[in-house]
Amino acid sequence: MKVNIIDDNNIIVFLNKFNIKNIDFSNRENIEKNFRNIFLKLKHIYKLDIKGYYDIKIYIDKYYGAVLEIEHDDIEYIDYFDSQIDMRVNVIKDNEFLYKIDDIFLNDRIINKIDIYNFKEEYYIKIKKELNNYDMAYILENSNLIYDNITFDILKLGNKILIKDLVN
C-alpha cells in the first residue's frame, strides 16, 4: 500500500492486486469492511485524523490493482458522530491504467507484453498481458501511474508506437 497525502482533505491510496484480492467490489458490505481496515491503517501508521464523511472513488485495473481517491467532506458533524466514519463509495471498474515513462527502451522481457503510446510529447505504457511480479515492479519503479479520464484521451488521441520500430 502506497499513500499520497495531498492535503488535510485529500488522500490517494495505491493498492496492488495482492492488497485487493479478497475485496468483492460488487458487495457494499465487503467494501466497507475492508475500508475500515484501510482507514485504521491510515489513522495508526500515518497518524491521520480519520473521522466524518468521505467521498471515495475506486479505480480498478486488472493488471495493477486499485487506486483510491479519498476526499474528506467538511460537513458539520454533531459531537455524537465525532469518532464515526461515513462514506460514499463510487467503484469505477475496468479502467486501463497507463504508466508514464521517460525511456521507451525497456527491458526486452516485457516489450511483447505492453503497448507504448506517444501523447503530447510524453510516452506511456499500456500493459496488454499479465506480468510477473518482477516485471511489474520494474515498470512501477520506472514510471508514474496514470489513471482516470486522461487515460482515455491518451489511448484515443495518442500515437501507438510499433514495437518493431523500436527494435530496428
Tens of pLDDT, residue by residue over 37-47, are 888 888 899 88
12 pLDDT above the threshold of 70 = yes
Q: Quote the CA–CA distance of 140 and 120 in Å, as a whole number.
A: 21
At residue 18, the 3 state secondary structure works out as: coil
Cell numbers given for 128: 496488454
Helix spans in 26-106 (H): 28-45
Is 51 or 62 the better-scoring residue by pLDDT? 62
Distance CA(102)–CA(117), nearest Å, equals: 12
Among candidates 59, 62, 53, 69, which has minimal Cα distance to 7? Answer: 69
Give residue 80's pLDDT: 43
Higher pLDDT, 167 or 33: 33
Average pLDDT rounded to a whole number, residues 45-57: 87
Tell me the pLDDT tens digit for each residue of 89-145.
899 987 899 999 998 877 778 888 999 999 999 999 999 999 999 999 999 999 999
pLDDT in tens, 142-168: 999 999 989 999 999 999 998 665 555
Collapsing DSSP states into helix, strand and coil, what is residue 54? strand
Give the three-class secondary structure for 44: helix
